[in-house]
Amino acid sequence: MIFNKDTAEKTAELLLQINAIKLNPENPFTWASGWKSPIYCDNRLILSFPIIRNYVRDEFAKNIEKQFGKPDVIAGVATGAIGIGILVAESLGLPFVYVRPEPKKHGRQNQVEGFLQKGQNVVVVEDLISTGNSSLMAVEALRNEGANIKGMAAIFTYGFGVAQENFKNANIDLYTLSNYENLLNLAVEKQYITEDQQSALQEWNEIPSTWGQQ
């Protein structure tokens, strides 16, 4: 679910402007999973554009507090959400921790890095939601440390049905600054893509695992 439509449209436009999101149905990208995709999203680019990263920071801070109440801690999911998560925590005047994909193999073997007390209320910040599996693994790691997860806030989601089901099963409320639906509508309106390309992009969103394999 998006925080609000105005933010969703503005965020989508900014991501397109800096090529954080690239749309190319004719020459699809190949994800690590092997899926063929007409879209590639690299939200790490946001950090290189001060005006845009400040916009994302401010929208996160404002909407997190409005939707979840002010938590005790902000947690970023490594590695993509560490930078923006720190900015959000700083804006809210809150402690920050981050979550590794798996525990370290040496030292204290931490998966959650930073100071976190049992029972603290945590909002998790993520950069991108695809299936939601890696994001929810971070939630599980925080819960194993005794955290009370208030919800997750992400920059962008592809809006896959499997992700919605995964978050529902995990009992986690997910809110995003923007999503695939608003991105496509904005991309057509601003002539980043044609209506024919929009149709191909919508088709991919419905069957991402097999799209482009005919």
5-25: pLDDT as tens digits:
999 999 999 999 999 999 999
C-alpha count within 13 angstroms, C-beta hemisphere, residue 103 = 11
pLDDT score of 8: 97
Neighbours of 96 (CB within 10 A): 20
Rounded Cα–Cα distance for residues 145 and 169 (Å)? 20
Q: Is the pLDDT assigned to residue 214 strictly greater than 70?
A: no
H-assigned helices in the chain: 5-17, 50-68, 82-92, 133-144, 161-170, 180-189, 195-206
Q: DSSP 3-state assignment of 61? A: helix
pLDDT score of 105: 67
* Domain formed by 5-203, architecture: 3-Layer(aba) Sandwich (3.40)
- Residue positions in the annotated binding site? 100, 104, 106, 126-134
105-114: pLDDT as tens digits:
676 678 999 9
pLDDT band at 33 (very low <50, low <70, confident <90, very high): confident
Q: What average pLDDT does this structure show over 91-98?
A: 98
- Residue positions in the annotated binding site for orotate? 130
Residue-averaged pLDDT of the chain: 94
152-184: pLDDT as tens digits:
999 999 999 999 999 999 999 999 999 999 999
Rounded Cα–Cα distance for residues 189 and 187 (Å)? 6
pLDDT score of 109: 74
- Residue positions in the annotated binding site for 5-phospho-alpha-D-ribose 1-diphosphate? 100, 104, 106, 126-134
Rounded Cα–Cα distance for residues 131 and 61 (Å)? 25
78-87: pLDDT as tens digits:
999 999 999 9
Could you state, in order of their start, the residue ranges of all structural domains in the chain? 5-203
Q: Is the pLDDT assigned to residue 32 strictly greater than 90?
A: no
